Structure 1
Amino acid sequence: MPVRPSATIIAALAIAILPTVASAQAAPRFVPSGRGTSEITVAMPEGTPDSVTPPKIRVDHGQPHLRGRTLHTDSLVPFDKVWRTGANATTTLTTDLALMIGGVKLPAGRYALLTIPSAGTWKLIIQKDAGEMAGAYDAAADLARVDLVRRELATPVESLSMWLIPSTKPGVLGGELRLVWGNTELSTPFTAVR
């Protein structure tokens, strides 16, 4: 006599399989915010050990978009509260050289960057790198807070962008860290420390 599966077993299998089938049939989609990266390479003199693999400085950030939203709101970029400065994963600064940023010396390494937006002066928070995922803010990890120079832009910028802009002055090994989004541009100088 053939064994017939019970209705309970059939129902349990159907419940277990349906979510898998439904998710397998879901349409692919883009992640709402991509990543933005700015990297500069230091051209070292020929024959020096660093000329083979020259040192680099890199900033990597999640790149949210306005999409018709107002920039300064509690849900997007709140005033006077710590903001992760980007979307999704932590914004990071990685440097192969010791740097001076806004008067603060940082050894070579990897750092997390956050900001405190304000109607007045914004602050850049530099922290020991806490890993890839943005979590709860921990003030104990702060290494420094640097005032950012703020400028209003006439034309809004749709997507958050950060750049490392090298100086073109002869003999100056430095430049500017710049952040723009909406009608706001923020910057602070950096120099390599030898």
Structure 2
Amino acid sequence: MKVLKKLLIALLVLGALFYFVGIPYLQSYTKKYSPETTTTYDFDGTELQVHYSSPSKKEREIFGALVPYGKVWRTGANEPTTFTTSTGIKIIDKPLPAGTYSIWTIPNKESWKIIFNKEVPDWGVTLSSGGRETTRNEAADVLQVEVPVRTLSQTQENFTISFEDKEQSYLSFAWDRVKINVPISKLSQGKPTIN
């Protein structure tokens, strides 16, 4: 009985060490290779901000390989990408209330689904799955849109999220030879609410 008790205490201590020392070390280590980046945009008095970790291509095949087609991606590395808007806006034709959201994507060859979720988990993937499964809670999705893929003429080495203001304002994602533009606009009337 004493041996079992000592074994249980040793396992608890090892578990606590992994949780309080190992996981933070792994998280800080991965950020050396996928640095955190914040992009802000003043959208006609509305403050927009995207915070994400930016992995590099490093001669790897990205979409359809490192980032599988048809599966939810944390949209960058490390913690989930977050999107903050100071007032309600529209994503294509769907209202998005003011707040901070995690952004998840489902890349495919011809189009991407972009998902705004009202929860922001601590990390973007589960350690138990070896990084293959995300920590997204599908029940907390606020809106989902689909946009076509554009092919870039030159390779984009680092995953980049930016705001573009051309004939229309866009939230843009680019990596490797792929770019997607998500139209954003001001709400014409009223404030949207989350049900």
Question: TM-score, structure 2 length as denominator?
Answer: 0.70
| Structure 1 residues 134-173: aligned runs within 5 Å | 134-135=124-125, 136-167=135-166
The residue number in structure 2 matching 1:90 is 80
1:98-148 CA-to-partner distances (Å, cap 9, x unmatched) read 010021101110011010011122110111132442242221111111112
Pick the structure with more helix per residue: 2
Partners of 1:82 and 1:111 lie apart in 2 by: 16
Give the superposed CA RMSD.
1.9
Offset, 1:82: 0.3
Distance 1:112 1:182, change over 3 A: same
Asked if 1:69 is matched to 2:60, the reply is yes
Q: Secondary structure at the match of 1:178?
A: strand
> Structure 1 112/154 Cα, relative in aligned 2: closer, same or farther at 3 Å?
same
Secondary structure of 1:31's partner?
helix
Tell me which amino acid in the other structure corresponds to 2:114: L
1:90 is displaced (CA, Å) by 0.9
User: What CA distance in whole angstroms lies between the structure 1 residues aligned with 2:182 and 2:44?
Assistant: 22
In 2 relative to 1, CA 70–96 (structure 1 residues): closer, same or farther, beyond 3 Å? same
Between the two proteins, what is the percent identity of the paired residues?
29
Runs of 4+ in 1 over 4 A off after TM superposition: none
**SS of the residue 1:140 aligns to:** helix
Which structure has the larger Rg over C-alpha atoms? Answer: 1
- The AA in structure 1 aligned to 2:171 is L
Structure 2 counterpart of 1:21? none
Inter-partner Cα distance in structure 2 for 1:100 and 1:146: 11
Number of aligned pairs?
150
Answering whether residue 51 of structure 2 is matched by residue 60 of structure 1, we say yes
Cα distance change on mapping 1:56 and 1:132 into 2, 3 Å: farther
Deviation per residue, 1:132-175 (Å, 9 max, x gap): 422422211111111123110121100000011235x6xxxx61
Which residue identity lines up with residue 152 of structure 1 in the other structure?
Answer: T
Preserved CA contact (<8 Å) 1:92 1:129? no
1:36 maps onto 2:26 in alignment:
no
Unaligned runs of 5+ in 2: 1-28, 126-134, 190-195
Alignment of 1:17-28 (within 5 A): none
Aligned residue in 2 for 1:189? 183
Distance 2:48 2:55 in 1: 22
Measure, in 2, the Cα distance between the counterparts of 1:120 and 1:165. 21
- Mapped to 2, the partners of 1:102 and 1:91 lie a distance apart of 19
- How big is each residue's C-alpha offset from its partner over 1:168-188, in whole Å with a ceiling of 9 and x where there is no partner? x6xxxx610100000000011
Match of 1:179 in 2: 173
Q: CA deviation at 1:43?
A: 5.4
